[in-house]
Amino acid sequence: MKVKPKILIVDDKGENLVALEKTLADLNVDFVRATSGNDALAVTLEQEFALALVDVQMPGMDGFETVELMRQDKKTRHIPIIFISAIYTEEYHKIKGIETGAIDFITKPINPKIVLGKVRIFLELHEYKRSLEEQNKIITASHKELQIALDELGLMHEELVKSQEQLVQSQKLAAIGQLVSGIAHEINNPLMAISGNAQLLLEDAEDEDTLESLEVIRCETQRATDIVQNLLAFARSHKSDRDLVSINEVVENAVKLCSNKSKIDNIQIVYDFTSDMPNINIDSLQIQQVFLNLINNAIQAMTKTKDSGKLIIRTQQPSEETVQISFEDDGPGIPAENIDRVFEPFFTTKDIGEGTGLGLSICYGIIQSHNGKIYAESTESNGATFNIELPIIDDTSNNQSDIAVLEPAGATQDTQG
C-alpha cells in the first residue's frame, strides 16, 4: 500500500493550524502539527515529511531560527519549507543552507487557492523525488545482478578457454601419437637387429679397439631403444586396468622406485599426506608412471642447479568429488614463457640425448584418461609445483594432515621419467 505523504504545519496558534488543515483538506496527505520551533525540530527528527508550512512569528524560537536549525541537520536539511508571515520579508535569505532545499513564502491573510497551488507543486516534487529514488534502487539492484551475471560469464569464459586448450592438447596428442607409433615400430626392428649383431660381435671380438667400438654401438643402441620405448608408451592406447586403491600407497610405491636416485642426488622427499583419504578408482600402474615422471623431473631440475634439494609430495581432498596430489620442489622453477608448453609432446629444455620431452605429455594423457587434471605452477627461482586432481568414486571425507619425512634411503629400482 502506498504511504500518504506527510505535511508538517508549525504555528503557535491552534486556530491557524485548524484553518490551514481546512484549506488543504482536499489533498491526500496526513498532517502533523507543531506549536513551537522546538516541537517542530523534535518531530522532524522522528518522521519523514514531504513539506513543512512554518509560521514566522512565534514566541521563543521564531520560524527562521527553526528552519536554520533544520538546515544544519543531515536528516532534516532537505525538507521543503513554506514560510507563512503577516509581513513580507527578505529575512529568510539569511538562513544558512537556504540553497540546499526548496523555500517559498506566503503572506497573511492567506489566499486558500495560492496556498493549495503551492503545496500541490511541492507535493508533486516530493512524489517525483520519491519515484526517482525508487527507480534508483531498482537500477542499483539490476546493476548488481548484471555484475553477478558478468562475473559468471567471465568464469564460464575461462572454463571454455581451458576446455578448448585441453581439447587442442588432446587432439595434438592423438595426431602425434599416431605418427609416433608408426615411426617407432619401424625403427624398433632395425634397432633390435643392430643390438643383436653387436652383442654377437662382442662375444667374439678380441682386440681392445674393436671391443670399445662395439660397446659404444651397444650403449647407443640401448639409448635409442629406450627412446623408442618411451615413444611407444606415449602413443599406446593402453587398456586401463582400474582398481580401488589408496593414493598415498601409490605415491609411496613410486617414491620407493626413485629412492636410490634421490639418495645419490641428495634429494629429500617429504610426505605431507592427508590421512583417511578415500580409495579411488584408478589404473595404479599408470598413475605410478605419472608420479615417477614427476619425481624424476623434479630430481633432474633440482640437481641441475644445486647440490641438494627437497621435494614435498602432498595429498589432499579439496572437495567431496576430488583428490589432489601435488609435487612441490625447490629447484629452479619453470620460466613463465614455458609454463604452458611443458605438457607439449617433445618439449624439453634438456640437452640432446638427455630427454625426449615426452614425460609430461604421457602424464597428461594418463590423467586425462582418468578424467582428471594436471597443471604446473611456478614462480621462477622458487621451484615448481605439479598438481594432479583425480575424481573420487568411493568417497569418505575426513581431512587430517600427517607430515612424515622420508630421508633419501636405499631402494630397489630406479626408473627414468
Ligand X SMILES: Nc1ncnc2c1ncn2[C@@H]1O[C@H](COP(=O)(O)OP(=O)(O)OP(=O)(O)O)[C@@H](O)[C@H]1O
Q: What residue ranges bind Mg ion (CB under 5 A)?
A: 297, 359, 417
The answer to whether the CB of 37 falls within 8 A of the CB of 12 is no
Q: Which does 5 bind (CB under 5 to 8 A by kind): ligand X, Mg ion, none?
A: none
Task: Based on the shown chain and the rule CB under 6 A, indicate whether residue 250 belongs to the binding site for ligand X.
Answer: no
Binding mask 356-375 for ligand X (x = CB under 6 A): xxxxxx--------------
> Which one of residues 253, 322, 326, 349 is an interface residue with ligand X (CB under 6 A)?
349
**Which residue, 56 or 311, is less far from ligand X as judged by CB?**
311
> In angstroms, what CA-CA distances link 296 with 150, 164, 258, 331, 412?
43, 29, 8, 12, 16
Rounded distance between C-alpha atoms, residue 9 and residue 20, angstroms = 8
Q: Segment contacting ligand X (CB under 6 A): 39-47, 107-115, 158-166, 293-301? A: 293-301
Count of CB atoms within 10 A of residue 25's CB?
10
342 binds ligand X (CB under 6 A): yes
Q: Among 177, 355, 365, 408, which residue sits at the site for ligand X (rule: CB under 6 A)?
A: 355
Q: How far apart are the C-alpha atoms of 222 and 214, rounded to whole Å?
A: 12
Task: Find the binding residues for ligand X in span 63-82 (CB under 6 A).
Answer: none
Closer CB to ligand X, 17 or 299, in the complex? 299
Task: Compare residues 279 and 297 and give the one whose CB is closer to Mg ion.
Answer: 297
From Mg ion, ligand X, none, interface partner of 384 (C-beta below 5 to 8 A by class):
ligand X
Choice between 31 and 347, CB closer to Mg ion: 347
Beta carbon of residue 347, minimum distance to ligand X (angstroms, whole number): 5
286 interacts with, out of Mg ion, ligand X, none, CB within 5 to 8 A per kind: none
Of the pair 136, 413, the CB lying nearest Mg ion is at 413
Is residue 55 a contact partner of residue 79, using CB atoms and an 8 Å limit?
A: no
Distances in whole angstroms, Cα of residue 281 to Cα of each of 323, 394, 401: 11, 8, 22
Q: Is there binding between residue 225 and ligand X (CB under 6 A)?
A: no
Judged by CB under 6 A, the stretch of 85-93, 99-107, 196-204, 296-304 that binds ligand X is 296-304
**Cis peptide leading into residue 332 (ω within 30°):** no
Question: Is 370 exposed, middle or buried (CB count within 10 Å of its CB: 0-12, 13-18, 19+)?
Answer: buried
Query: What's the grid cell of residue 254?
Result: 613410486
Residues 6+ away with beta carbon under 8 Å from 284 = 243, 245, 250, 253
Q: How many CB atoms lie within 10 A of CB 90?
A: 7
Closest to 230 (Cα-Cα) out of 361, 367, 375: 361
Note whether 384 binds ligand X by CB under 6 A: yes
The stretch among 130-138, 183-191, 349-357, 398-406 that binds ligand X (CB under 6 A) is 349-357
CB closer to ligand X out of 122 and 343: 343
Phi and psi at residue 155, to the nearest 5° = -65, -45
Query: Is the Cβ–Cβ distance between 277 and 236 less than 8 Å?
Result: no
Indicate which single residue of 172, 310, 350, 373 sits in contact with ligand X (rule: CB under 6 A): 350
Tell me, residue by residue from 300 to 339, as one string, x for binding to ligand X by CB under 6 A and - for no binding. -x---------------------------x-x--x-----
Q: How far is the CB of 363 from ligand X (least distance, A)?
A: 8
Whether residue 229 contacts residue 415, with contact meaning beta carbons closer than 8 Å, is answered with no
Cα–Cα nearest to 357, from 132, 173, 139: 173
Min separation Cβ 326 and ligand X, Å = 12
Q: Which is nearer to Mg ion, 331 or 417 (CB)?
A: 417
